[in-house]
């Protein structure tokens, strides 16, 4: 049986027209037969009959990512009949496909007003956004722009959704990310850490590069010589310096030292204030850096909002049994600058639960490694406490609360949790109080962090929630 491939109806029709115009009946018939022989997608069955076969783009469209299926014409005694039936089948599939695709285009505001991509990519205008629906897009209409890709020539790339239709740029989504809003770098396109490449602290640290001529806070503005750290300057551009000064005033503190974040300011003070009953500093288990991660390394980042990758708490303490060092509690602090007003609530909640699951797995694996098997068949779940702490503006009705006071309150709460006897946590586990993460919120701004506070209240069944508090002592 012959191997089938998609046929080219236009080529057949042109050949037939040329054949009809040929001089002499015998020459015309011969040209028609030659044109029909060129049609691919036609095969002869073992019974001697002919039929056509074509890829079913409609099935592919309705089942993105599924295996390509084929549709066949009925069997005919002659090849010309099969050629004609195949052309009709292809026209029918194209009509069905167009109906589905055009309905999807109309329903998607990102592509609704865009022109359709030309069949030949070489006819596409540079930097112009089109909607494309093909195997490349899993047969879903996508906002695309034509780009030159070296030896591959012209290719379609996903376009930034914020750029003008006639001045579109390619979206920068990172190698391992599923971007919720594909954007170019100018409109917040992300790096492998889910941040704008020019603002990503981790990219700067990973590459061991420190560009002294750029602002150390925004990573974008070029500094004058006197502002550069190497010349004794602050390393900040005027706008960032003013912004940090405003934040400091709102939190009743001095601006961070050169190269420091608010997270560093808080944690550097906190670690010296977390002590046991006799005044000895309790060492933390890990602090936010790439060398300390929770979760399997097979689940590295797939997106800033993904709950399927490794996590790094800002700082973590563990409480263990004195006898066999099993984990009975975990205390984590997240320093949420400006109440994390720029984050999505579902992502913030997802991080809590993802970290909770990672702690449970860590406790289970450590228990097996230390004990060989669970003692007396008892399985205890550690209590996981997640504290979200805002170091910046807090609109408590009583007026501004100094950062030093907030850190003292935070330290007192951490000391209380870490100095609780292990048997108390064990009993809480037996009582079923540790099956959900314990979430506490301190000093959130009611407006900047309002969406998160509302989200936690609406989903309080998923947490042991202690609502936002702003204590002054």
Query: How open is the CA angle 114-118-122, to the nearest 5 degrees?
Result: 120
**Please, are residues 29 and 50 in contact by the beta-carbon 8 Å criterion?**
no
Q: Is 324 helix (H, G, I), strand (E, B) or coil?
A: coil
406-424 core/surface letters (b: 16 or more CB in 10 A; e: else): bbbbbbebbbebbebebee
**pLDDT number for residue 175:** 44
> pTM value?
0.50
Burial of 366 (0-12, 13-18, 19+ CB in 10 A): middle
| Residue whose tokens read 């600058």 | 337
**Please, are residues 223 and 239 in contact by the beta-carbon 8 Å criterion?**
no
Taken as a whole, the chain contains a residue count of: 473
Sheet holding 286-287, edge to edge: 286-287, 315-320, 327-335, 383-389, 438-442, 464-469
**Please, are residues 312 and 292 in contact by the beta-carbon 8 Å criterion?**
yes
What is the Cα–Cα distance from 324 to 370, expressed in whole angstroms? Answer: 8
**pLDDT number for residue 68:** 65
**Please, are residues 204 and 210 in contact by the beta-carbon 8 Å criterion?**
yes
What is the Cα–Cα distance from 106 to 82, expressed in whole angstroms? Answer: 36
Per-residue pLDDT of the chain (473 residues; tens, 9 = 90+): 444 444 445 555 555 455 455 444 444 444 444 554 556 678 888 888 888 888 776 666 566 555 667 888 888 888 888 888 888 888 888 888 788 788 888 888 888 888 888 888 888 888 888 988 887 777 778 888 888 877 778 888 888 887 888 888 777 665 444 444 676 666 656 654 555 555 555 555 444 344 567 777 676 777 887 777 666 677 778 887 777 777 767 666 666 666 677 888 899 899 999 999 999 999 988 887 544 556 544 444 444 454 455 567 889 999 998 887 889 999 999 998 888 887 888 888 888 988 898 888 888 877 664 444 445 556 789 999 999 999 888 888 888 888 889 999 999 999 999 999 999 999 999 999 999 999 999 999 888 889 999 999 999 899 999 999 999 87
What is the Cα–Cα distance from 101 to 426, expressed in whole angstroms? Answer: 58
What is the Cα–Cα distance from 73 to 94, expressed in whole angstroms? Answer: 15
What is the Cα–Cα distance from 172 to 246, expressed in whole angstroms? Answer: 32
What is the Cα–Cα distance from 323 to 258, expressed in whole angstroms? Answer: 45
Q: Which residues contact 393 (CB under 8 A, 6 or more apart)?
A: 247, 250, 251, 338, 445, 448
| Residue whose tokens read 């039929």 | 51
Query: How open is the CA angle 112-113-114, to the nearest 5 degrees?
Result: 95
52, β-bridge pairs? 42
In angstroms, the Cα distances linking 451 to 18, 24, 437, 447, 459 are: 70, 82, 20, 8, 12
Joined tokens for residue 101: 């695709």
The contacts found for 51-55 with CB under 8 angstroms, 24 or more apart, are 51/75, 51/76, 51/82, 51/85, 52/7, 52/82, 52/83, 52/85, 52/86, 52/89, 53/4, 53/86, 54/6, 54/7, 54/86, 54/89, 54/90, 54/93, 55/6
Q: Is 116 helix (H, G, I), strand (E, B) or coil?
A: strand
In angstroms, the Cα distances linking 63 to 56, 66, 385 are: 11, 5, 43
**Please, are residues 19 and 35 in contact by the beta-carbon 8 Å criterion?**
yes
What is the Cα–Cα distance from 311 to 334, expressed in whole angstroms? Answer: 12
Joined tokens for residue 395: 């609109």
DSSP-assigned letters across all residues of 408-463: HHHHHHHHHHHTS-HHHHHHHHHTTTTSS-EEEEES--TTTTHHHHHHHHHTGGGS
């Amino acid at each position: 049986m012959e191997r089938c491939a998609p046929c080219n109806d236009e080529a057949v029709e042109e050949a037939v027209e040329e054949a009809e115009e040929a001089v002499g009946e015998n020459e015309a018939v011969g040209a028609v037969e030659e044109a029909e022989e060129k049609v691919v997608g036609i095969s002869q069955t073992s019974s001697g009959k002919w039929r056509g076969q074509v890829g079913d783009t409609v099935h592919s469209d309705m089942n993105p990512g599924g295996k390509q299926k084929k549709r066949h014409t009925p069997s005919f005694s002659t090849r010309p009949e099969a050629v004609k039936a195949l052309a009709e089948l292809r026209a029918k599939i194209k009509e069905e496909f167009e109906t589905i695709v055009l309905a999807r285009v109309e329903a998607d505001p990102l592509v609704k007003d865009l022109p359709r991509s030309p069949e030949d990519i070489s006819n596409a205008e540079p930097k112009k956004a089109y909607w494309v629906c093909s195997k490349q897009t899993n047969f879903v209409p996508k906002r695309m722009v034509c780009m030159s890709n070296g030896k591959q020539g012209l290719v379609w790339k996903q376009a930034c959704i914020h750029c003008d239709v006639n001045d579109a740029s390619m979206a920068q989504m990172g190698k391992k990310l599923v971007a919720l809003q594909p954007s170019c770098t100018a409109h917040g396109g992300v790096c492998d850490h889910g941040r704008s490449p020019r603002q990503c602290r981790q990219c700067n640290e990973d590459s061991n590069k420190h560009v002294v001529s750029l602002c150390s806070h925004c990573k974008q503005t070029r500094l004058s010589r006197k502002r550069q750290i190497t010349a004794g300057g602050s390393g900040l551009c005027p706008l960032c310096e003013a912004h940090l000064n405003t934040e400091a005033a709102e939190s009743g503190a001095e601006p961070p030292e050169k190269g420091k974040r608010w997270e560093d300011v808080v944690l550097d003070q906190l670690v010296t204030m977390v002590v046991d009953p006799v005044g000895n500093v309790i060492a933390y288990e890990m602090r936010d850096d790439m060398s300390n991660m929770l979760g399997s390394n097979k689940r590295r980042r797939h997106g800033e909002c993904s709950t399927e990758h490794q996590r790094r708490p800002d700082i973590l303490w563990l409480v263990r049994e004195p006898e066999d060092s099993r984990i009975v509690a975990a205390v984590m602090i997240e320093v949420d600058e400006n109440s994390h007003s720029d984050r999505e609530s579902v992502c913030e909640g997802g991080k809590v639960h993802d970290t909770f699951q990672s702690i449970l797995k860590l406790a289970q694996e450590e228990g097996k490694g230390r004990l060989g098997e669970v003692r007396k068949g008892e399985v205890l779940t550690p209590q996981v406490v997640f504290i979200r702490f805002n170091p910046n503006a807090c609109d408590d009705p009583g007026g501004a609360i100094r950062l030093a006071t907030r850190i003292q309150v935070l330290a007192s709460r951490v000391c209380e949790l870490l100095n609780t006897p292990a048997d108390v946590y064990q009993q809480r586990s037996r009582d079923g109080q540790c099956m959900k993460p314990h979430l506490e919120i301190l000093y959130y701004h009611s407006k900047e962090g309002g969406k998160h506070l509302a989200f936690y209240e609406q989903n309080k069944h998923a947490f042991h929630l202690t609502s936002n508090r702003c204590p002054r002592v």
